[in-house]
Amino acid sequence: MSAQKHAGAQKHAGDLQIPARPGGRWKPWAALAVVAAITAITASPQWGVAVSFDAIARNWQNGAEKIVQLLQPDWAFWPRTIAPLLETLQMAVIATAVGAVVSLPLSLWAAKLTNPNAVSRGILRTALNIVRSVPDLLYASVLVAMVGVGALPGIIALVLFNVGIIVKLVSESIESNDAGPLEAGRAAGGSQLQVNRAIALPDVWPSFINQTLYVFELNVRASTVLGLVGAGGLGLLIDAVRTYYRYDQLSLIILEILVIVVVIDVLSSAIRKRLV
């Protein structure tokens, strides 16, 4: 009996076959080779931007001196950074609040599930593509010439930047949701506005809060750069100390920005865990 079982087990093992290797294993390597070739062509002197490390080899001592200065912050300069730092945070808060208020209805308007009208949806998406295509620094440069030096052009530039990002990300999140509840609401006789307010909006809140917090973090960093063109905040002070090659003072400003960004990131994570 045991011999019959052994023979049956051998027969069953003989029926087993090793599966063939899956095809297409070469595709990642081919994609990597294509990326490497494009990078090499882009960096070549004949066809690209002529990337060369000779400048680093020739001027590395200058870089080392600047790094040494950056590692020695001028702590006595700290009181002069308080007012610009507060202005930077105020710009970020105001721009985030205004951008969020404007972006919420536009996000519902830009999504196919919450706006079946293809014409109005297409017009809005085209306008938002135009808004996103212009860098925030260019917005600030133009607005400084129109409005004047100060925080106002920086806030307007950040609002445009926020609306372009929030609407795109939130509208894409809406379109990835299940369309069944919205169709059921319309089948029950609800208007599109009623369906959006009662069904779509509760589903939108987590994504909307996430993107708003993310944009606020971006605004703190972006507002420091906008000041380089006169749009208020720490950027004005950065431009001043950079003009006089005070890298010790610049390092203090960079350290302050780093601390603020880390604190905001921790607070944002805590808010996400409670609200999302």
Task: Indicate the burial class of 149 (C-beta count within 10 angstroms; 0-12, 13-18, 19 or more).
Answer: middle
pLDDT digits (tens, 9 = 90+) for 96-142: 999 999 988 888 888 887 877 888 888 888 898 888 888 888 888 88
In degrees rounded to 5, what are phi and psi of residue 105?
Answer: -65, -35
Q: In which residue ranges of the chain is pLDDT below 50?
A: none
DSSP 187-213: HTT--HHHHIIIIIHHHHHHHHHHHHH
pLDDT digits (tens, 9 = 90+) for 157-191: 999 989 988 888 888 888 777 667 766 777 776 66
pLDDT for 98 equals: 93
Domains contained in the chain, CATH given: 78-275 (1.10.3720.10)
Question: Who contacts 237 (Cβ-Cβ below 8 Å, separation ≥6)?
Answer: 80, 81, 84, 227, 253
Task: Indicate the burial class of 231 (C-beta count within 10 angstroms; 0-12, 13-18, 19 or more).
Answer: buried
pLDDT for 97 equals: 92
How far CA 48 is from CA of 37, 38, 44, 68, 147, in Å, comes to 12, 10, 5, 34, 39
- Amino acid, res. 244: Y
pLDDT for 276 equals: 58
- Chain length of the chain: 276
Q: Provide the 8-state DSSP code for 122.
A: H
pLDDT for 136 equals: 84
